[in-house]
Amino acid sequence: MRSPCRWPRGRKRPWGSSTAWPPTCPTTTCCPASAATCWPVSAVRRRRGRSSSGRWGWRGTNGSGSCCERSCGRCSHDERRIIRRTPFPSWSGTVYSGAAAAAGVTPSAVRQHSDTRGGYIHVRSSGSTRPVRPAARRRLVALTAVTALAAGTATALAPGASADVAGWPATDGAIAVVNDGITLVDTEGAGSAYVTRGSDDEAPAWAPDGSRVVFEQAGTLRTASVAGGASTLVYDGVYNGRSPSHPTYWGSGSRIVFSAAKKLYYVPSAGGTATALLPSGAGCDTHPSAAAVSGVVAFQRGGASCSGTTPSIVLYDAATGRQTTLVTDAAAPALSPDGTRLAFVRRVDGHAQLFSVNTDGTGERRLTQDTADYDSVSWAPASDRLVVHFDHKETETGGCCMTGNVVLTLTADGVSEGTVFPYGGRSPAWQPLRKNGVGRVWGADVYGSNIAASRWTWNTVGQSEAGLKNASSAVLVSRDSQAYALTSPALAGKKGGPVLLTSATSLSSAVQTELKRVLKPGAPVYLVGGTSILSSAVASKVTSLGFTPKRLAGTSRYSTSVAVAKAITSAPTHVFLATGTDYHSALAAASAAGALGKSGKAVVVLNEGNKLTTSVKSYLNGLDPRETLVIPVGGSAKYALTHTTFSHWPSTYTYYPVTGSTHEATAAALARFWWGGPRNAALASVDSWRGGTSAAAAMNVYGPLLWTKVDALSADTKSYLVKGAASLTYLAVFGGTGSVSTPALNSAGGAISAAGDQWGYTPFYNGLEPTAANSGALAATKASPGIAALRTTATR
């Protein structure tokens, strides 16, 4: 259906014509003629919000002073460009726009005007002028190449990755501005490289590493890669009736905080279910701003109705749950990336002026002293400069009125102002650039890579190497029996130790050495499978080494998976079901279950094709699906579950299926479901179950297992990495170039980063860190399953 506010395609706009513009906009669409003062909702959205329906429309007062509001559909590209430059209600006169004909305004009230300082087209209404950016743009001026600082240390427990530290390990990137899409410019406003081209795109905010940008779009939140391409929907306010505004990445980039319906919410940065950030009832909470290196969120709090009261700025600390009022009579907060300062707006003599204050409440400072109105503040990555949008600023000759963006440099002695951006735009957001990390963990062959994976994660007994974990047990599986290795990473995560591959008939010398390296005498060593899988000679050798062998076995791979599940916990909170005839889904599920660590109660059991064996059926039948979440991974697991009758289950029960069109897609779907926004991920060859077992066990609590083809990064995996780049800071590749080629590794590094040069590579041959390397520690990622999105009901 054609928009009622759209200028007919192919027809020239009649500038200066007396013909009503556009003729296809019916007068019955917008505010009734009795309205004394009406203005487009889009013109004031940045300060006053959209209409209650979240659509474009007119809002104002009629002759009796009551509110009038009518929807007028979507407006055209050119019309919306004018609407967003129109005056606020305090201006005299009637606004001219694509829907202005409904209010009786004709193009005769409009004249074209040039301004050599900015190249704007101004729209005049009753003697007032506002700039409208022309369609012509200049090409992007090449930004100076910068190298981001590597992160130093962190509190996590495995080697190889950079992480957020006290300080901001980033350098200046481009500045995003809204200009009929989101455009990248330099610090003087030059440039025309697009990130998005949507004319509804508003309020951009950058991920901590600059790889992705989140923005509003017609009642939704979407993210896009800095390299462009299709955007990703992360929150649909149209569907649930809560239109979002002012999105900001939170902490490491795993969450996005936004305001909607007078409250603050957060959602996983890759998309998912929105959750209220704070208890309701405290007031009208809007304009969130999060620091890049902490769990602190600043936001604007007003009265319950969002109007009629003087707003204040509140700091919320997620670690303590404490809310602290930092400054009163203040709005539109912007936290500095290092979390030490906050910029805000306060009205002085009728003008919105810019201030700053330290986050401990000291050092309040006025930054601007003029007649402009400032908004949309964004800090430089070094927290020493601001880029800000302004309205009503006097020109150099004292004329009125400029609108634009400018960089302010803050020093102890004062504030210096840069060049006003020449091509307009609004809502500036300064991109940080931070290098992410990729490491390769491998040995001389697949078995050497298994030992290397263990050395990469676990400390030597009696030593404490920064970034490594202390093992309390180990898991042995047969290197010749894929079926009995499938659930071992889940067991290793719970018991806290490596998964080691050995011969069925003897304990290899490399495994003996590794057991003695990581375990104290007497520590348990779990053997998965009966004596036909790992012989009694293996158990005897474990005993002779001074450890305690514990065999977990059944009569088949399926009953053995039940034995492993029972060894993990007698009361599981989550049960993954995956096929036992293929390793891809089961190993990905075991990685997820093991990610809960020693306190976890998640297990994996196996289905046999499209059915369940007696042992697995009996195990599941003994659980209550109202208390234990059942998660089939893969199509056959879902079929086997839903086509089995459980006599002890209710006639209607809920389960949470995870499926994909390929092995890589299924693993990626599970990663999105289980982790939300992980900091780290493991990458292994889709052709190697041994490599997958090593990778899943070595990553332990750190992140998901992903699959790739040998010669090139699989498309489904690349899509997951690109969309999850906001939170991903490190990727561990397991196996040599015969498992994951150099081009595949390079493609993965680029996928999680802002640019091809914004990631660093570290080789871990035999699991050992190079002497010259200076890696930080790998941060553990807490699993946060997106349960609601996958909830499915089955009826017997």
Digit-coded pLDDT (tens) for 471-518:
999 999 999 999 999 999 999 999 999 999 999 999 999 999 999 999
Q: Which residues, other chains included, contact 441 with Cβ-Cβ below 8 Å and sequence gap of 6+?
A: 449, 452, 453, 456, 698, 732, 733, 734, 735, 764, 767
Q: What is residue 251's predicted lDDT score, i.e. its pLDDT?
A: 78
**Given the DSSP bridges, would you call strands 373-379 and 385-393 parallel, antiparallel or unpaired?**
antiparallel
User: What 3-state DSSP class applies to 237?
Assistant: helix
For residues 604 and 490, give the distance between their C-alpha atoms in angstroms, rounded to a whole number: 7
Asked whether the predicted pLDDT for residue 16 surpasses 70, the reply is: no
Lowest model confidence (mean pLDDT) among 181-195, 587-601, 717-731: 181-195
Q: What does the alpha-carbon distance between residue 487 and residue 564 come to, in Å, rounded to a whole number? A: 7
Does the pLDDT at position 308 exceed 80? no
Q: Which helix (H) or strand (E) holds 174?
A: strand 171-178
Residue 97 has pLDDT above 90, yes or no: no
Q: Give the pLDDT score at 279.
A: 81
Q: How confident is the model at residue 229 (pLDDT cuts 50, 70, 90)?
A: confident
Q: What is the pLDDT of residue 432?
A: 94
Between strands 436-442 and 759-765, the pairing is parallel
Residue 409 has pLDDT above 80, yes or no: yes
Least confident among 38-47, 149-158, 337-346, 723-732: 149-158
For β-strands 499-502 and 474-478, DSSP reports them as parallel
Over residues 250-269, the mean pLDDT reads: 92
* 138 falls within a domain: no
The pair of three-digit structure tokens given for residue 710, joined into one six-digit string: 């040998």
Residue that finishes a domain, picked among 399, 414, 433: 433
Whether residue 462 sits in one domain with residue 424: no
461/367 same-domain check: no
Q: Which two tokens stand for residue 20?
A: 């009503």
Distance (Å, rounded) from C-alpha 220 to C-alpha 558?
Answer: 45
Distance from C-alpha of 331 to C-alpha of 773, rounded to nearest angstrom = 45
Residue 22 in tokens: 């556009």
Segments of 642-726 assigned E as strands: 652-655, 680-685, 705-708
Same domain (yes/no): 401, 445: no
Q: Does residue 105 share a domain with residue 222? A: no
Q: How confident is the model at residue 789 (pLDDT cuts 50, 70, 90)?
A: low
Q: Kindly report the CATH number assigned to the domain that includes residue 367.
A: 2.120.10.30
pLDDT digits (tens, 9 = 90+) for 687-712: 999 999 999 999 988 999 999 999 99
pLDDT digits (tens, 9 = 90+) for 432-468: 999 999 999 999 999 999 999 999 999 999 999 888 9
Q: What is the pLDDT of residue 779?
A: 56
pLDDT at 265 over 90: yes
778 in the same domain as 649: yes
Number of domains in the chain: 3
> So what's the pLDDT on residue 785?
64
pLDDT of 82 > 90? The answer is no
> Do 490 and 389 share a domain, yes or no?
no
pLDDT tens figures, 593-639 = 999 999 999 999 999 999 999 999 999 999 999 999 999 999 999 99
Query: Is residue 75 one of the residues assigned to a domain?
Result: yes
- What pLDDT sits at residue 579? 98
Query: What type of residue is 203?
Result: A
Residue 462's nearest CA partner among 450, 453, 449, 471 is 471
- Find the farthest-apart pair of alpha carbons in the chain and give their distance in angstroms, rounded: 99
The 10s digit of each residue's pLDDT in 772-781 is 554 444 555 6
Mean pLDDT of 172-186: 94
Q: Which of 433, 450, 479 is the last residue of a domain?
A: 433
**Whether 189 and 288 share a structural domain:** yes
Domain assignment of residue 530, yes or no: yes
Using one digit for the tens of pLDDT, what is the confidence trace for 656-684?
999 999 999 999 999 999 998 899 999 99
Q: Are residues 421 and 444 in the same domain?
A: no
Task: Please state whether 118 falls in left (phi above 0), alpha (psi between -120 and 50) or beta.
Answer: alpha
Same domain, yes or no, for 236 and 365? yes
**Residue 76: pLDDT over 70:** no
Range of the domain at 469: 436-793
Q: Is residue 281 part of a domain?
A: yes
Query: Any bridge partners for residue 571, and if so which?
Result: none
Transcribe 308-377 into DSSP letters: SS--EEEEEETTTTEEEEEEES-EEEEE-TTSSEEEEEEEETTEEEEEEEETTS---EE---SS-EEEEE
Model confidence pLDDT, tens digit, residues 98-113:
222 222 322 223 222 2
Is residue 11 in some structural domain? no
Q: Is residue 662 part of a domain?
A: yes
Residues 474 and 558 placed together within one structural domain of the fold? yes
DSSP 593: H
Mean pLDDT of the chain, nearest integer: 79
Are 408 and 444 in a shared domain?
Answer: no
Residue 32 scores a pLDDT above 90: no
Token reading at 35: 């309205």
Please report whether residue 451 resides in a domain.
Answer: yes
For 511, the 3-state DSSP assignment is helix
Task: Give the pLDDT of residue 276.
Answer: 93
Kindly state whether residues 245 and 281 are assigned to the same domain: yes
Token pair for residue 576? 């993954």
**What confidence score (pLDDT) does residue 694 get?**
98
Among the candidates 433, 460, 475, a domain finishes at: 433
pLDDT band at 8 (very low <50, low <70, confident <90, very high): very low
Q: What is the pLDDT of residue 90?
A: 28
Residue 27: pLDDT above 60?
Answer: no
What pLDDT score was predicted for residue 422?
Answer: 87
Partner residues linked to 257 by β-bridges: 248, 266
Cα 546 from Cα 520, distance rounded (Å): 9
On the question of pLDDT at 131 being above 60, the answer is no
Of the candidate ranges 83-92, 308-317, 365-374, the one whose mean pLDDT is the lowest: 83-92
- Predicted local confidence at residue 413, as pLDDT: 86
**Class of residue 537 by CB neighbours under 10 A (exposed 0-12, middle 13-18, buried 19+):** middle
Q: pLDDT per residue over 529-581, tens digit each?
A: 999 999 999 999 999 999 999 999 999 999 999 999 999 999 999 999 999 99
pLDDT band at 791 (very low <50, low <70, confident <90, very high): low
**pLDDT higher than 90, residue 132:** no
Residue 357 has pLDDT above 70, yes or no: yes
d(CA 95, CA 91): 9
pLDDT band at 731 (very low <50, low <70, confident <90, very high): very high
Domain membership flag for residue 84? yes
Q: Which residue has the tokens 């102890």?
A: 412
